[in-house]
């Protein structure tokens, strides 16, 4: 396979990385602020508007790993692709476990209490690290998916799987959060059959390959843009209204498996593929973009630490009275400091490849 990086993909990777930071910056005080305050409304907006990020990351992976130019060897797959991700996951799970033990004061209570807490912490993925075992799962079945999407009827199979993803995953997940007449009966019908191959993130994985390798009509493209914008704004509004009514913070309407998440993520992917890809960059700019793209995995892993450290010294989404300004500033600070940390770690030989 041609190892040359694709610039629009690297730019989307950076944008998705910023989006993930945006989700976690916007949700920082999501559960401890009055729901009728402007601070919470702004946090809800930033929390929702960045929800393209996870779908975009998975679609990028599908675009690259399912590319017809790849040839899969199972030994190489496990050694070069799965093992480094697994190593990074184990390292950061243990790192964040120790970090939380130290910062929560568990260590002072004795070694036994600290050990018990450590085992509890590493038994479940830290809040942002869930993505790594999910990606490993997708990689495990990638050779089989590659055979399907690159077969003689690959396009038809992909379209079929995307439709099934919408019908059996996206639609039921979205409907479940609305109070509709006969909802329970509708959900029972939709969930009677649940084909496992299309009821997880595999749908986004396949979608990324399809959208990157096949042209969609201009009408369909613009429809995706319109639906993406309308649905994500509606989802943000519904989360606000539902939270006021229930008295507790709700984010269900713009989560990854909702129609809003599906079309919002797809619109970003299509926009970068069809429009950002046409921007001309000189060689130096391309080199910088590619380097920044290569740092996003490490930034993703370490940004939660940077966010917590900043929070402990009083720098967070409420550091100034204007939350609409505070959150973008916080996003920028977390991204820059995380990037600086990754650049330093990258200089450590034989270690960096396994942890970032």
DSSP letter string, 302-351: HHHHHHHHHHHTT-STTSSS-HHHHHHHHHHHHHHHHHHHHHHHTTSTTT
Query: Which residue has 């450290």 as its token pair?
Result: 309
Q: What is the pTM of this model?
A: 0.95
pLDDT tops 80 at residue 173: yes
* pLDDT value for 3: 54
DSSP code at position 123? T
pLDDT class for 349, splitting at 50, 70, 90? Answer: confident
- Write out pLDDT tens, residues 117-137: 899 999 999 999 999 999 999
Q: CA 356 to CA 252: how far, in whole Å?
A: 31
Residue written as token pair 């009728």: 36
Residue 31 sits at the vertex; the CA angle it makes with 26 and 32, to the nearest 5 degrees, is: 105
DSSP state of 106: G
Report the alpha-carbon angle 84-55-125, nearest 5.
50
CA distance 204 to 189: 24
Task: For residue range 215-249, list pLDDT tens digits in order.
Answer: 999 999 999 999 999 999 999 999 999 999 999 99
Distance CA 222, CA 307 (A): 36
Mean pLDDT of all residues in 306-335: 96
Q: Can you read off the two tokens belonging to residue 110?
A: 């004795």
The pair of three-digit structure tokens given for residue 246, joined into one six-digit string: 């229930």
2-52 per-position pLDDT tens digit: 457 899 999 999 999 999 999 999 998 888 899 999 999 999 999 999 999
**Residue 128 neighbours by CB distance under 10 Å:** 18
The structure tokens 């997708």 sit at 138
């Amino acid at each position: 396979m041609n190892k040359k990086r694709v610039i629009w993909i690297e730019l989307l990777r950076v944008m998705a990385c910023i989006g993930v930071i945006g989700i976690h910056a916007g949700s920082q005080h999501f559960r401890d602020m009055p729901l009728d305050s402007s601070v919470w409304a702004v946090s809800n907006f930033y929390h929702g508007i960045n929800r393209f990020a996870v779908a975009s990351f998975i679609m990028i992976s599908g675009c690259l790993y399912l590319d017809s130019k790849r040839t899969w060897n199972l030994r190489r797959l496990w050694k070069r692709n799965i093992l480094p991700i697994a190593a990074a996951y184990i390292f950061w799970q243990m790192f964040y476990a120790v970090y939380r033990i130290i910062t929560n004061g568990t260590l002072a209570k004795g070694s036994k209490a600290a050990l018990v807490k450590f085992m509890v912490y590493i038994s479940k993925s830290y809040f942002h690290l869930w993505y790594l075992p999910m990606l490993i799962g997708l990689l495990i079945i990638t050779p089989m998916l590659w055979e399907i999407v690159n077969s003689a009827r690959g396009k038809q199979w992909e379209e079929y799987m995307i439709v099934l993803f919408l019908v059996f995953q996206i639609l039921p997940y979205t409907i479940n959060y609305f109070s509709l007449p006969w909802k329970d009966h509708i959900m029972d019908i939709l969930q009677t059959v649940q084909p496992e191959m299309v009821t997880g993130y595999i749908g986004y994985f396949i979608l990324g390959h399809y959208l990157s390798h096949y042209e969609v009509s201009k009408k369909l493209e613009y429809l995706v843009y319109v639906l993406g914008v309308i649905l994500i704004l509606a989802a943000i509004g519904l989360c606000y209204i539902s939270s006021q009514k229930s008295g507790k913070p709700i984010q269900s309407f713009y989560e990854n498996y909702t129609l809003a998440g599906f079309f919002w993520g797809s619109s970003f992917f299509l926009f970068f593929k069809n429009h950002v890809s046409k921007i001309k960059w000189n060689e130096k700019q391309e080199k910088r973009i590619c380097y920044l793209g290569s740092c996003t995995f490490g930034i993703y892993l370490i940004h939660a630490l940077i966010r917590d450290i900043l929070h402990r010294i009083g720098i967070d989404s409420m550091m100034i009275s204007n939350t609409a300004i505070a959150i973008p500033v916080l996003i920028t600070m977390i991204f820059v400091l995380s990037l600086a940390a990754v650049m330093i770690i990258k200089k450590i030989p034989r270690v960096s490849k396994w942890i970032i």
